[in-house]
Every structure is written in structure tokens, then in C-alpha cells.
Homo-oligomer: A and B are copies of this chain.
Amino acid sequence: MNTPAYTALTHTFTRLYRLGHLGALAGWDQAAMMPPKGNAARGAALAELQVVMHQMLADVRLPGLLQSASAEPLDALQQANLHEMRRDWTLSTCLPERLVQAQSLATSRCEHAWRSQRQNNDWTGFLGNFREVVNNAREEAQILSQAQGISPFDALMDKYEPGSRSADIDTLFDDVKTWLPDLVQQVLAKQASEPVLAPVGPFPVEQQRALGVDLMGLLGFDFEGGRLDVSAHPFCGGVPEDVRITTRYTEADFMRSMMGVVHETGHARYEQNLPADTRHLPVGRARSMGLHESQSLLFEMQLGRSAAFLQLIAPRIALHLGHQAAFEADNLARLYTRVQPGLIRVDADELTYPAHVILRYEIERDLINGLMAPEDIPAQWDQKMGQYLGLDTRGNVKDGCLQDIHWPSGSFGYFPSYTLGAMYAAQFFACIRRAHPDLDTRVATGDLSPIFDWLQQHIWQQASRRPTQDLVLQATGEKLNPQHFRSHLEQRYL
């Protein structure tokens, strides 16, 4: 193998993977374990690690190695790896140090103040810090845009969802907007007369935890290579070799925590089943945020809230939490598909969730592309919330445009990943269902292998070997087709 430049690059990126392990662990610990007084030292340690890793990527030899490697005899996997390494290098090095520092300062100030400004419904105070966050993000978008020859907003979105373009997202989302508001109204009318029994708590935390662990086992989580813990905001963290998922418990309600565990287990299985021989290389990473979300949403929405799965787990719920009428499978299915338009995205049901995403996407797209000013956000929010979900948010920025951490922390372009994930999940599940006409029966009787086998082969083991678009085409025989998502919603909710 005469590939000295490529080999040198993999050496550097393996070192970065190993150091990244420590950052991932420290991040998980910060959210799940760390007492409050550890926070300043932890922040300083993580920042120092970032500096060390950035210095490795900014090594003056890297551009030459990337150049030389592209002329070396690489196989397809190595070429894909080189592509990902070049992408990492570009994203890490193309921004001037001055801008990176300004962003770090502005977002940390804005995010810190946002925590109380949100409580106080203080849009004016927020705007004072937020203008600089937007200005920095626009400058970053301009630089990335020029480096890649795509629009400024696309350049930011590309960080999370490589290859996605707003022209395509516009088409997808404009279509959703033509049918979603009507569908929501139809479903609301239908569900108004549906009887639903509410579970009666309290549900002790230890019992909820045991139920969660039981479901994780059922869903194939490998406890020899991961853990379940508690954090204020549930997430999937850690490293592929040791995946750490979290949930939070309230004794009055087990449903949210239980389904949260199912959701995070979807993320976890993706990480746990990345190909072991390349997971230390960029080509061995999960493909994108949207693909990651497709796995959690396939577990939570396609599988987890299906009648067949709820039939399977109803006895387990009763086993852990005690018998009650509300735990009948039919009633669980009604509970877990209840639709109720609301102001808060993270509380939204499966059906109204896309409206929250589309609204945010349209605003951040215009904001970054310079077609909207920060001060116009509340009015746009009010107008779209009325149009898409029939809700009045005027004067309520607390439960409106100040509800998410994404913008105060400078993450523009992330929101579409949620709904792209839901669409991918619907398309994947439709494909699995086509291959297994008896899928519901198998799920209801505890055989989830058709789902896991398909995901293992077509998604998890593919990692980042090819662009998302190619991966989806190879896996399902077609490119992203939102019709599967619409059909799924209509079949489940109408």
C-alpha cells in the first residue's frame, strides 16, 4: 500500500478520535454526574481540549497531506474517509481565529442571559445580545459559503446535514404546509370523541427505571457497552464503544420518560453498531444529524408508538408499574398518538411537530441570508404560528421564539434535521414493512429482528461511507420521498 500521506492523515485523525473520547465523556458527565462547583474547571478543561484538537487540525502539514493523499491509490472506503477528513479540516480551519473567539464570547453571553430573559419574557434584553450572535453567524455563513460555493444558509445547514440544500428543503416543507394544517384539524375533530383513560400515578422512579432498562434490552441496547442515567435534558452521549443515554423522571408521569428512553435507544443503537473497524475514523462516524434523528424517530415514532409495539410492551408496563386499566394496549396507543397543538416544540406530538420545525427553518433561513432582521422574529413567529397551528403567541416570546437554546447558542441550520429525520424514518420503515408484510404480527409477538437487521445492514454499518442521498437511495431504492411520511401520518391518525 503506497499511501504515505493517507496513512499519516489517518494517524492524526485517530489521535483526534481518542482525544474526542475524553471530551465526549466529560460532556456526558457534566450533564449527568457533575456537582455544580465542578462547572468552571470542567469548562476550562473542555476549552483546553478544543485548543489542542484545533492545533492538530491546523497543523501546517495537513493541507499538503490532503493534497498528496488525493493522488494516492485509495480504495472507495479510503476515498470516502479522505473526503470526510478534508471536510473536517475545512470546517475547523477556514474561519479566522478572531471570528471563532468573537462567536464563543457572544454566544456564551447570549445563552447565559437567555436563561433568565426567557423566564422574564424579555425580548428587548435578549435582542441586545442576539444581534451580535446573528452578525457573527452571518459572517461565518459568508465565509463557508464562499469556500463551498453554496448559499450562506446552506453553508450552515451543511455543517449538520452534509449535502442538504434549502432549495430541496423548501420543496419538501412547502408540500407539508399544503396538507398538514388540514390534517391536524381533521385529527383533532376525530379524537375529540375518542375516550382515553389517563394512567394514575405516582410511578416511583426506581420502577420507571426498571421499565426503561427492560425496554432498552428488548430494543437491543448493549449494556456491556453503555449506560442509562439521568439528566435534565435527555440525550445520547458518550462514544460508540460506550454509549451513555439519559432520561429524566417525574413520578406523576411515566409515559414521557419511557418513550424518551425508546427514542434515545434509537440513537444509541446507531452508535453501538457503527462498524468497529473504522469507528475511529471520520468515515466510520454516524452520517448526519438528520440520519441520527431518523434512528431515534424510527424507534420512537414508527415502532414505539405503533399499536403492535404497545401491544408487546403493555404487559411489561403492568409488570413494572402495577396493573391498571389505562395500560391496555388500545388505550396506550390512543395516549401515545394524542394530538394537541401547543406552543412548545419539545412537548409537541408527532403530527404537529413538523409545523414547529418549518416555522423555525423559514425564519433562520431568511435571517442568515439577510432577508430578515433579528427584530422582526417575534412578528414572523406570531404570523406563522397562527397560520400553521392556529395558535396565538402575541406578546409571549417566552413560549415563542425564546423557547429554544439553538439560536442563543448560535446553532442556525440545525432545525430541519428533526423533520428530515422523521421523513427518513417513515421511508425506512415503509421499506422494512414492504419486505415483511407480517411485520406487525412479528413486532407484537416480540420479534423485532426484521427492523434491526435492516437498519444494521443499510444504515448502521454504512456509517459515512457515502453521502446521505446515496445512502438513502441504496437503502430504499428511491431518494428522500416525503410521501412516506404523509402516508404514515394519515394511516396512523385518520
Residues of B within 8 A of A38 (CB): 225, 238-239, 241-242
Is A64 among interface residues, defined by CB-CB distance under 8 A?
no
Assuming the A-B contacts A29-B25, A29-B29, A52-B19, are A224 and B45 also in contact, with contact meaning beta carbons closer than 8 angstroms in the complex?
no
B residues within 8 A CB of A242?
34-35, 37-38, 41-42
Q: Contact between B37 and A224 (Cβ–Cβ < 8 Å)?
A: yes
Q: How far is the CB of A35 from chain B (nearest CB, A)?
A: 5
Write the chain B residue with the least CB distance to A222: B37
Interface size of A by CB at 8 A reads 36
Identity of the chain B residue whose Cβ is nearest the Cβ of A224 in the assembled complex: B37
Contact of A35 among B40, B42, B46, B226 (CB under 8 A): B226
Q: Is A36 an interface residue (CB 8 A)?
A: yes
Determine whether the beta carbon of B49 is less than 8 Å from that of A22. yes
Instruction: Check A45 against B21 for contact (C-beta < 8 Å).
Output: yes
A19, B48: Cβ atoms closer than 8 Å: yes
Is A26's beta carbon under 8 Å from chain B? yes
Given the complex of chains A and B, what is the CA–CA distance between A21 and B19 in angstroms? 13
- Which residues of chain A in 29-75 are interfacial with respect to chain B, using CB atoms and an 8 Å cutoff? 29, 33-38, 40-42, 44-49, 51-52
In the complex formed, the residue of B with least CB distance to A36 is B224
A41 in contact with B241 given A48-B15, A49-B22 (CB within 8 Å): yes
B41 adjacent to A21 (CB under 8 Å)? yes
Contact with B along A2-41 (1 / 0, CB 8 A): 0000000000000100110111011001000111111011
Looking at the complex, which one of B18, B33, B41, B226 makes contact with A48 (CB distance below 8 Å)? B18
How distant is A243 from chain B, measured CB to nearest CB, in Å?
9
How many Å lie between the Cα of A425 and that of B413 in the bound state? 60
Determine the residue in chain B with the shortest Cβ distance to A43.
Answer: B18
Which residue of chain B has the shortest Cβ distance to A38 in the bound complex?
Answer: B242
A224 neighbours in B (Cβ, 8 Å): 35-37
**Cβ contacts under 8 Å, A131 to chain B:** none
Cα–Cα, bound, A48→B222 (Å): 26
**CA distance in complex: A227, B19 (Å):** 25
A326 to chain B, nearest CB (A): 30
Q: Which residue of B lies closest to A23 (CB)?
A: B22
B-contact 0/1 string along A192-232, CB 8 Å cutoff: 00000000000000000000000000000011111100000
Query: A15 — nearest CB in chain B belongs to which residue?
Result: B48
Q: Mark A231-264, 1 if CB is under 8 A from B, else 0.
A: 0000000110110000000000000000000000
**Least Cβ–Cβ distance between A390 and chain B, in angstroms:** 46
A37/B225 in contact, CB under 8 A: yes
CB-defined contacts of A49 to chain B, threshold 8 Å: 18-19, 22
Bound Cα distance from A51 to B16, whole angstroms: 12
**Distance of A259 from chain B, by nearest CB (Å):** 24
Question: 5 smallest A-B Cβ distances: which pairs?
Answer: A38-B242, A37-B225, A21-B45, A18-B48, A41-B241
Interface residues of A (CB under 8 A from B): 15, 18-19, 21-23, 25-26, 29, 33-38, 40-42, 44-49, 51-52, 222-227, 238-239, 241-242
Contacts A25-B26, A25-B29, A35-B242 known; list 15 others, CB within 8 Å: A18-B48, A21-B44, A25-B25, A26-B26, A33-B33, A35-B223, A35-B225, A36-B225, A37-B222, A37-B241, A37-B242, A38-B225, A38-B238, A38-B242, A40-B241
